[in-house]
Amino acid sequence: MRVVLGIEYCGSGFSGWQYLGAGRQVRTVQDCVQQALASVAAEPVHVVCAGRTDAGVHACGQVVHVDTGARRSARAWILGANSALPPDVSVAWAREAGADFHARYSATGRLYRYFILNSTARSGALAGRVTWHYRPLDHARMQAAADTLIGEHDFAAFRSSECQSKSTLRDLRQLRVRRAGDFLVIDAEANAFLHHMVRNLVGVLLAIGAGRQEVGWAREVLEGRDRRLGGVTAPAAGLYLCRVDYPPHFGIPAPRGAFLPAPPA
């Protein structure tokens, strides 16, 4: 039986999603989730996720699946797993799926949200949950630059050197910059993302918003296809995997929302 689950986590205390093996003494989300689900299933399970997140990156819309011989109700999966999970990880929902569903390969899109506290003073309460930028940021300039990146392009300049994807062609469907008081929120939506792609996009937008680069620089970086020309990778702390999209017939529930509220449109 294939079981699909929605996972939420605060990434601050984890070395990323991916389990690195029994010999590595690091804390990962996958390892925590696998152990918790195995306790409910009373057998070992392997968890497949929609998107592997890096150390420090959060999720309120991660989707995973496991194959198991155990038959449990949705309530049993949720309550049983959550009783075995640490406070910074939780199962939000669970349901059965057919063998044709795959958490990663059935996905048609992903939405990441990046939070920036643009204020002279940093926040102790939001440490690790948002990125702090004390210099004033012009969100209108950032949006003008973001608009030049929308569409299907070769995003080689926005991937990390460790990225193992065979193709760097991605369809960036949305890159939206909004301000709400001292907060800037950047929504990035695409069919899929390269390793560090969102954080590298944000890094370019931050340089433009701070006035260190012109609006046209974003497009120059894109067309240069050279990561070395792309500036600084934005910190992981402000990044959330908020939603994974699937064809409607799979009946995948909508996520409960980001850990922080989105500002009004």
Catalytic residues: 54
Burial of 155-187, coded b for 16+ CB within 10 Å and e otherwise, reads bbbbbeeebeeeebebebeebbbbbeeebbbbb
Q: Name the phi and psi angles at 261, rounded to 5.
A: -70, 145
**How far, rounded to the nearest angstrom, does the alpha carbon of residue 151 sit from its chain's CA centroid?**
20
Please, is 265 exposed, middle or buried when counting C-beta atoms within 10 Å of its C-beta (0-12, 13-18, 19+)? exposed
Partner residues linked to 189 by β-bridges: 111, 174
Owner of token pair 């004033």: 136
Strands 2-9 and 89-97: antiparallel
User: What DSSP string runs through 46-101?
Assistant: --EESSPPPTT-EEEEEEEEEE-S----HHHHHHHHHHHS-TTEEEEEEEEE-TT-
Rounded CA gap, 163 and 201, in Å? 15
Residue 183 is inside which H or E element, if any? strand 183-190
